Amino acid sequence: MKKYLSSVAVLLFTASERSAQAADETVYEVMPPDTSGCKYDGYEDLTEQQCEVYAAFRDEDIPYGGVSQWSDEPKGCHISKCIVSFNTDDTGARNINSAPMCKRSISNVLPPQTNPESYLVMNARTNRCSDGSEPVTPVECFMYTCFTPNPNPDPLNRPSYGVGNWPADPKGCIISYGDTEDEKVVYFNEHATGVGNDNWLPVCKPPPPPGQFVFDGPVDLLFTVADAPAGVILLPPIDYELSFTIEPLGTISEVGGIILFITADLTYRGLFIYFSKDSTKLSIQIDRFPTHQTSDLELNKRHDVVLTVVGSTTLLSINGRREVRSITARSVYEKLDVYIGSPVSEPANAIISDIQFFPTAPGYRSNTGSDQD
């Protein structure tokens, strides 16, 4: 590992900036690896034709692998091993080495996804992600090589990639290149601590956009120690939509924590979702005030939950059945830690997945099904 990279921090083109150059002006974005399809609100699946158009637009660095049916790859348009393909399988599957390709819907007001095209290169002699940026996983590090700008038109000449354990280099995803752009090299350093130097620079994800949180899971809450937050929401909105899927596996004799938004000192709760004692009744508190409590959710069954908070009302939808409640004014916070489970109660006996929290747009109206009887 002898190559050198300038110490100037580099911000790559975002997907929005790159894709705005496309002839049809469709804004393409890369979803997180190990997800299946464009399930995030505000994003849509690409058609087979759009997938091929995207690959043609990126033909300088990402080839098109064609159309086929794979049961072990994300459905629809996706990227795997730096090749874009279209999967005709109706459901597809998560694959840790693959990421769905999606387009932003016309009405999408959400910030862009944190995708490989927006990754940041830190300064020389650093060994951490600064200014709120976050470390990337090995899969994300490899995906970064697919999108790193390279003037050489040969797609096989993209940066080389490797994984190893080097105590004398920065930990995590690192990049270096020699005298020309063609010599760019990316590695993932598995060493627990690492050390900064002149030759290798950390590659990091930019800070998450304010007001949102996404966590795929699944997580078995009963066997998860919630001793640290799963994420932080900066400038949390007072009008928002939270959705997740939960599968109750049993009851406990105490309140069973599911999701908690709370201040760093564990004093003020912005939102607490839990199962009531000895039941699978889904209960919701906003700023410590109870707003909803459902009937018992059926055990060993997946339930799709959507909580929409707008103005003076909350709307809770479970499997499409809705319940509306009035609420009082909510508190405003600079940031809230997000716990899956809870550090202030016992965890619920349940599996949770597909958590999404986004601010609602002005004039938002939920479309979650018919009203509950």
Q: For residues 22 and 179, what is the distance between their CA atoms, to the nearest angstrom?
A: 31
CATH hierarchy code of domain 213-359: 2.60.120.200
Is 80 exceeded by the pLDDT of residue 208?
no
Q: Quick one: pLDDT at residue 156?
A: 53
First to last CA, the chain: 66
For residue 328, the model assigns a pLDDT of 81
- What's the confidence (pLDDT) of residue 107? 66
pLDDT of residue 12: 29
Using 50, 70 and 90 to split pLDDT, how confident is the model at 367? very low
pTM tops 0.75, yes or no: no
Relative to beta strand 321-326, strand 120-121 is unpaired
pLDDT of residue 108: 66
- Cβ atoms of 327 and 314 closer than 8 Å: yes
CATH 2.60.120.200 boundaries in the chain: 213-359
Mean pLDDT of the chain: 81
pLDDT at 121: 92
Tell me which residue of 156, 154, 149, 147 sits closest to 177, measured CA to CA.
149
Peptide bond between residue 218 and the one before it cis (omega within 30 degrees of 0):
yes
The SS3 assignment for 225 reads coil
Confidence of residue 127 (pLDDT cuts 50, 70, 90): very high
Q: What is the DSSP letter of 41?
A: T
pLDDT over 70 for what percent of the chain? 81
pLDDT band at 14 (very low <50, low <70, confident <90, very high): very low
Average pLDDT value for residue range 145-160: 65
- Tens digits of residue pLDDT in 279-336: 999 999 998 889 999 999 999 999 999 999 998 899 999 998 999 999 887 889 988 9
Mean pLDDT of 137-148: 86
pLDDT tens digits, 274-291: 999 999 999 999 988 899
pLDDT value of position 154: 52
pLDDT for the residue numbered 22: 39
Sign of the alpha-carbon torsion through 19, 85, 94, 173:
negative
Q: Which residue has the higher pLDDT, 365 or 126?
A: 126
Average pLDDT of span 143-169: 76
In this structure, are residues 246 and 256 in contact, taking their beta carbons and an 8 Å threshold? no
69 pLDDT higher than 50: yes
Using 50, 70 and 90 to split pLDDT, how confident is the model at 10?
A: very low
